Structure 1
Amino acid sequence: MTFAELPRMGSGRVSEARRQHFHAQVQEVVVWMRQYVRRLGFAPVARSWLYALESEGKITKGDFTWASKWLADRRKEGLIPFELVGADTTRQLTGHDNFDEEATPREYINRQLRDSLEQAAMYWPSSYWKHQTNYPILWSEKKDVLKLFKPELPDAIRRFAGKGQADVNSRLAVVQECQWAQENDLQPVILYVGDHDPSGIKISDGIAGNLRQIAKVEDWECGLDEMESDGRIVRFGLNADFINNARLLWIDGLETARDEAKGTNDLANPRHPDHGKDYVQSYLLEFGPRKCESNALIANPTAARALIRDELWRWLSYAGHKQWEAENHDASKEAAAAAEGIKRMLAMFDSAGVLYNPGLIQSLAQASLPGLPA
């Protein structure tokens, strides 16, 4: 039996029996979270968990602030395992002690040979873009959205999370990807998915403008102009019809990420410094004072994956995709057969005591390859 709502400890002095009961209730939440992670295939970040909880009826949209603190507190108490909530990769520890774990050179060489032959059997020489005309680049506002889309994305699809307005390095990378595509007789396409709020729509409407200065430095303004005029810069989500059809969560108000000097961070409030700007007023006129963050897709992964699948295959050739697969499967099969022959040869050398005897290997090489230096 699953939990009905996030449990509360209660205020004031708490008995040991109540504490144990609370811990047991939290464990029911943990069981549900584990099941959710297995279904998604990844651990959502904290903000995405709020949408998952809301979609399951465990909290309401008015509980987001409280529920966010509840998740953080339970993790700090050790009641919710850390691995169930995705990390912000920009804050991860880096550095690695790189060493070989084998105790002897023979064990090390065995692994190297085994790994090399396994890699040979996975030979995959044909580029995905060999049989395509367009080169779609996926641009998302949130990283969890990319994780949701991953099962529908060929590995060759370039993608990144802009986290709002993309920085200079990200914009440069996008321009360079577009340049590479054009140089290789492909039509670059930018597919954007972001929040449905004034800022999110402003970002998608302004993609060409944000890339223009970088394109000018890279001497690629004409290429960007062609993309824009041909309709190859596309916002495919989140859009209002999709939000309603997928029954995603609309949040009342238009709160921004930071507090503003005039005492409000809600764009719908006339006291907000940006309230009177055209992009805010046009949004309010069409959609009213409400928004839907792209994290809300976590509540309906089936609809999320249908969204990217439908858009992506507008630009990709399925026949080209199948031809790419066939070419690589044939090449991989041939390489695997060659690798199997090498395995048998190495096994024969090993049984004869030659494989790990440098002196014998040198003698055999000199005998079979005249002129080899001693």
Structure 2
Amino acid sequence: MTAVAATQPQARVGNGWIALLSLANLGLWMGYFGPLQVLLPNQVEDIAGAQKTTALGIVTGVGALVAVLAGPIAGALSDSTRLRTGRRHTWIASGAVVGLAGLALLPHQHTVAGLTVWWCVAQAGLNTMQAGLTAVVPDRTPVRQRGLVSGWVGLTQSLGVVAGVLLVTAVVTGLVSGYLLIGVLVPLTALPFVLATPDPPVGRTPRFTAASLWSSFRFSVRRNPDFAWAWATRFLVQLGNAMATLYLLYFLRDRVHYEHAEDGLAILIVVYTAATVLTVVAGGVLSDRSGRRKPSVIVSGYVMALACLILAVWPTWTGALVAAVVLGLGFGVYLSVDQALITQVLPTEQDRARDLGIINIANSAPQVLGPALAFPIVAYLGGYTVLYVIVAGVTVLGSVLVTRIRAIA
């Protein structure tokens, strides 16, 4: 089956639409990373003490499993929606509200089980919101602009990490105020996009039934090999990312012995984001102009692997700063160009949100598998040095397999 990107009648999208989409994505990624990078690790450490790595793996792993389920289901529902509130906007808004509810209730939990439940609620809401936001890009953006739009969306992902961490370390202190601030910002940043932009035209919509629920999680590898390879490469790169970043706060505290690990994490994220800014939009624009996506994705993967090797062989504060710069330069290109590539290999036009939900499994499933793989490596099989060497290998493998995609240059 040919990729749906071959037929694109959309008119060029304007800067205002891109800005509002980027703002909504900024709130989404703050909702993810403010808790994941600072709030959850600290709360888990307060609750579980010496068992913090195991407990954090449980909370984030179960939450990621919920994300695996929520993304494709929300995408399929969005594809089938004919409500006046909008095919995509309905799910963007409802997901933002559910995400707020989950985040607002997290600081009041005092057990690992309670944290797990409400992090799952937050994940379900955020992934529902993400299903709508990712689908509007191929809905409304012509192929010749997808690198540009994906670049700006990718930039907001990086800025979301910085903003989320700075908000809960420098602007407010305490779990209650941190979670609540992040939670409120999620719907506030989504609201302008929902209210001020047109929802994509409905056209032909698939019918969502109980029988179609299973189809939300499957596709034909034989009929859509490029989509399958795109999924596999995204999965491997995100697996490496999940294994590397989950314990980053603990890495600074326990291996680098940085005195104020939270402040150090914030500094690293700012440095990483500054490097990402240099390449994320430019990488997408250059791939639009050249019409070639794969070379940029492959090289960016090698650069990210190099950053992991730096952490493995140079576990010092200076090494961490250098790795943050290298990682940012590589990840910036990867964010924009890989996403643009994926939108060009989607199997069907009418199931875009569902198919992007399946791609989101490649983002979320590593959050389940990553802790399971990283914990024994850190605890029993050589520590952080071995962990980052393995992560580099996984990332390189994901980059090499991009060559298997045939329909895209």
Q: Which has the larger radius of gyration?
A: 1
Same fold by TM (over 0.5)? no
Query: Which has the larger helix fraction?
Result: 2
Taking structure 1 as the reference length, the TM-score comes to: 0.23
Structure having greater relative contact order (Cα 8 Å, sep ≥ 6): 2
The TM-score normalised by the length of structure 2 is 0.21
